[in-house]
Structures are given as C-alpha cells and as structure tokens.
C-alpha cells in the first residue's frame, strides 16, 4: 500500500473499482457513508460507470433529449440522484470520483468543499499540461472548464456533513459522443472536451485516477492509502 501526504485524521482509503453500474456505486457510497458517520474511516471511490444519464436535484427532465426508445437502443440507463446540479452523462472513458468524507468538525463549509474539489481537478489537469479553470461566466455552476468547453462536472450531496457523489472528468473522447443527447447541467452556450482531445493522445482512466490522488491529499490535508 502507498501512503500520500499526512494528517492527524485516520487515512482515507482510496479504491479503484474499474467499471461499475450506477446503482452498485450508490450502494457502495451508502456503506462508506455509514462507516464515516460512525467514525470508522473515510473512503475515496474512483471508477468508471456503465452508460447512465443522471438527474440531479435541480434537473429538468426535458434536458434529456433522447427518446426512451433511443436510450434503450444505446443501452443508456436513466437515474434520479440526490446530488446537486441538473442532468449529466457518465460512461466509459470518464473518471468518476466519489469522496466519502466527514467534514466535521473543521471543514463544515459547502462552498469550500466544492472549491476544493475544483482545485483537485485543476491541479491534476495541470500535471498533464492542461490549464483548467472554474466557470467565470456561469453563476452557481460547479465544474472545470478549458476555454469554453467543460472537461469536468461536480455534483455533491451532504448528510450530517458526510459527503457523497463528487466529480466526473472526461479522460477519453468516448463520453463526448453522448453529451449531444442531453443539455449538460442546463448549459447551452458551451461545449465539452476531454483530456484525450486536448493532448492528442489516449490516456488510461486508472492512470488519471492515480494522478488525482496526490492532489487530493494536498488539498484536503488527508493521508491517502491506495493500493
């Protein structure tokens, strides 16, 4: 096992899960959140999803542009979610990160938590020579952009200051083919991009997951235990 950074708290256990169905990931998050609530440790789940469109708490169903028949043909599931935000797509080629942390007692600030997640992604992208930025033109949009193209989305849920859900970072071009089927996060004046498109080369999602860990450890001041 590898330890990254240091903290007075117990280490956060990072787990690379590979490809996971959305419902299975929800169950894993619920188990991890129960452990965190009991003070039994924190978890950082890193994975790819099977194709799924998720509807956050502020979602408008009309932002799903594909018909039920077309969704079935493409084998894309649709799920409602208790995360913040609107409609987004998850699928192979996208790194999904679900930090399950207890923000009590010293980090009980939702805006800070979201900003920290943005910092993690911006720092990880910088390691590949990609300049990611927060949205400056869109209020209340939690995401990371490269120019006018979104490369990562963030949507979170907190219950008694225990976090679930998290971020989705487009690593390969594969997810991009599915975004025309939705109005991502309700945004109509911007595009989407991926690390592969910007770098001109394909990356392994697991490689990028490992690159995220040191930045996460630094931003959150946590020790990370990863296989």
pTM for the model stands at 0.92
Calpha distance 209→7 (Å, rounded): 21
CATH number where 222 lies: 3.30.930.10
Q: How far does Cα 30 stand from its chain's mean position? A: 16
Give the model's confidence band at 200: pLDDT under 50 very low, under 70 low, under 90 confident, else very high: very high
Q: Give the CA dihedral 82, 83, 89, 94, nearest 10 degrees.
A: -130
Percent of the chain whose pLDDT exceeds 70: 92
Annotation says 128 is catalytic: no
Q: Which domain holds residue 26?
A: 2-226
- CA atoms within 13 A of residue 155's CA, in its CB half-sphere: 22
Tell me the helix, strand and coil percentages in the chain, rounded to 5. 35, 30, 35
Q: How far apart are CA 46 and CA 43, in angstroms?
A: 10
d(CA 187, CA 184): 6
* Catalytic residue from among 45, 103, 185, 212: 185
Question: CA 32 to CA 142: how far, in whole Å?
Answer: 24
Number of domains in the chain: 1
pLDDT tens figures, 78-120 = 999 999 888 999 999 999 999 999 999 999 999 999 999 999 9
Farthest CA pair distance, the chain: 52
Q: What percent of the chain has pLDDT over 90?
A: 80
For the segment 171-189, what is each residue's pLDDT rounded down to a tens digit?
999 999 999 998 876 566 6
Q: Residue 191: its pLDDT value, please?
A: 87
């Amino acid at each position: 096992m590898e330890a990254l950074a240091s903290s007075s708290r117990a280490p956060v256990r990072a787990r690379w899960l590979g490809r996971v169905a959305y419902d299975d990931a929800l169950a894993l998050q619920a188990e991890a959140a129960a452990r965190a609530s009991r003070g039994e440790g924190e978890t950082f789940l890193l994975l790819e999803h099977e194709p799924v469109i998720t509807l956050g708490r502020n979602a408008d169903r009309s932002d799903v542009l594909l018909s039920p028949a077309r969704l079935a043909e493409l084998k894309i599931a649709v799920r409602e979610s208790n995360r913040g935000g609107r409609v987004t797509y998850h699928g192979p080629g996208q790194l999904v990160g679900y930090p399950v942390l207890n923000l009590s007692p010293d980090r009980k600030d939702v805006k800070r938590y979201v900003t920290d997640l943005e910092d993690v992604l911006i720092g990880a992208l910088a390691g590949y020579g990609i300049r990611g930025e927060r949205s400056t033109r869109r209020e209340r949009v939690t995401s990371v952009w490269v120019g006018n193209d979104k490369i990562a989305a963030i949507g979170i849920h907190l219950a008694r200051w225990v976090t679930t859900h998290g971020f989705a970072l487009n690593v390969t071009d594969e997810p991009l083919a599915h975004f025309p089927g939705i109005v991502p996060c309700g945004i109509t004046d911007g595009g989407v991009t991926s690390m592969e498109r910007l770098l001109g080369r394909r990356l392994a999602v697991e490689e990028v997951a490992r690159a995220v860990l040191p930045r996460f450890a630094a931003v959150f001041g946590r020790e990370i235990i990863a296989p």
